[in-house]
Structures are given as structure tokens and as C-alpha cells.
């Protein structure tokens, strides 16, 4: 296992940095916001807490939560226009700095493609660098499930995305940054995991992560000190 100093070295020399989105790049949990918007907020927030704590499989939790919400295409679009996701302070500057250094930035999320792509546009991240879950709708716009073939739809899926990126782009050093258990599980194959507690602190992640931050300025400083 890499020491903290070695992890900082990996981060400074990374070919690619993958960010979780909900409660990391943005301040809220997208699925909880969608649930609130659709009138089932409390029940779904409790399910999210259990999923993030790692006590149920991700796919089971996602299926149950979406089965309760049953969002229509129109509701998802209205959520994005009426309550756009709020970027976490410091993320825009960090992503800009990584881009200036020639580092590829990816958004790897158990959230929803349409919401995550909206976030990617704000951060000048190409939509091709977004890996997230796709909601399915019937021709009349009613909820029809989600694409269960996406790697991000299941536990261990973020690790599969990192493996795919390493194979496709021959990255040597890939960093994963996120707040939850599914982010921590992605290393390995990721080379370094940085736990983020700036929006919400997951006890399990804080206890196990060797490198844990609460503000993105801490990572900007690491890049400046070089």
C-alpha cells in the first residue's frame, strides 16, 4: 500500500483524475434531489444513506430507489432547469488546473447521465469523459427503468471504468476522488484514492482512506507546490 507521500506523488503525476459527482463535484446527491422533486424525498434519502454506507449492493439500492421515484423524462428535464446542480466550492479551479497540466478529467458517477452531462458542460469536461447511469423512458416520457448494462449501475462498476480507461488510453497513473464506498473500492485498479468530505462525511471512508480532504484547495496546493 502506498504511503501518503507516495499518494501525493501519484496525484501530482497523474495521467487521469476521475471524480465522483454526487456530494463530491456537486453539493447534493442527484437521486435525492430527483426524489424530493417527485415527492418521495425522505424515503429515498434513507435508502441512499444505506447504499453509501456499503450495507446493500449498489444495483439493488438503485433499483429500489428508482422504483419508488419513477421519474418521467419531463420531470428530469425540469429538475435540471429549475434546480440545477450546485458545484462544490473549488472544483472549477481544480479541474481548470488539471486541464492546464494536460491531465484528462473524467466524471464517474452512479448518478444519471443527463444530470452529470450538465455538470460536465459547466466544467469544460467533454461528454465522452462522462460515465454514469442512463435512465430509460417510454415514448410518452414515462419511466421505463435504467440501463443495467452500464458498469456504474453496480458495485465495483467504478473500478471497471478505470480498468477500461487504462486499457483504452494506456494511462499509467489514475486517481479516484470521491466521498463514498463505491469510490474507495475503485482503487485498485485506480492507483490512488482521495476521500472527499467537503459536503458529507461517510464514517467508513474517513476511517479507511489514507488521504482524506475536506476542501479542493488542499489538492490545488499540492499542484502548486511542484
Show which residues are catalytic: 20, 22
CA distances (Å), origin 130, targets 18, 56, 133, 158, 224: 10, 25, 10, 12, 27
Could you report how far apart the first and last alpha carbons of the chain are, in Å? Answer: 23
Q: 22, 110 in Cβ contact below 8 A?
A: yes
Strand partners, 137: 143
Q: Name the nearest CA neighbour of 222 among 165, 169, 177, 171.
A: 177
HSE, CB side, 13 Å, CA atoms: give it for residue 139: 0
Reduced DSSP (H G I as helix, E B as strand, rest coil) percent helix, strand, coil of the chain, to 5:
50, 15, 35
Amino acid at each position: 500500500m502506498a504511503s501518503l507521500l507516495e499518494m501525493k506523488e501519484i496525484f501530482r503525476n497523474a495521467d487521469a483524475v476521475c471524480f465522483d459527482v454526487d456530494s463530491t463535484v456537486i453539493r447534493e446527491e442527484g437521486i435525492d434531489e430527483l426524489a424530493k422533486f417527485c415527492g418521495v424525498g425522505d424515503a429515498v434519502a434513507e435508502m441512499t444513506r444505506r447504499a453509501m454506507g456499503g450495507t446493500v449492493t449498489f444495483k439493488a439500492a438503485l433499483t429500489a430507489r428508482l422504483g419508488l421515484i419513477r421519474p418521467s423524462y419531463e420531470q428530469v428535464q425540469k429538475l435540471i432547469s429549475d434546480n440545477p446542480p450546485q458545484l462544490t466550492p473549488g472544483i472549477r479551479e481544480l479541474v481548470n488546473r488539471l486541464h492546464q497540466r494536460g491531465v484528462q478529467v473524467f466524471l464517474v458517477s452512479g448518478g444519471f447521465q443527463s444530470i452529470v452531462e450538465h455538470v460536465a458542460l459547466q466544467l469544460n469536461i467533454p461528454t465522452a469523459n462522462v460515465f454514469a447511469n442512463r435512465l430509460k423512458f417510454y415514448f410518452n416520457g414515462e419511466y421505463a427503468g435504467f440501463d443495467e448494462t452500464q458498469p456504474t449501475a453496480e458495485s465495483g462498476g467504478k473500478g471497471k471504468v478505470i480498468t477500461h480507461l487504462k486499457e483504452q488510453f494506456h494511462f499509467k497513473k489514475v486517481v479516484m476522488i470521491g466521498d463514498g464506498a463505491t469510490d474507495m473500492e475503485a482503487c485498485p485498479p485506480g492507483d490512488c484514492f482521495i476521500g472527499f468530505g467537503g459536503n458529507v462525511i461517510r464514517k467508513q471512508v474517513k476511517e479507511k482512506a489514507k488521504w482524506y480532504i475536506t476542501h479542493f484547495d488542499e489538492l490545488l496546493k499540492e499542484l502548486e507546490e511542484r
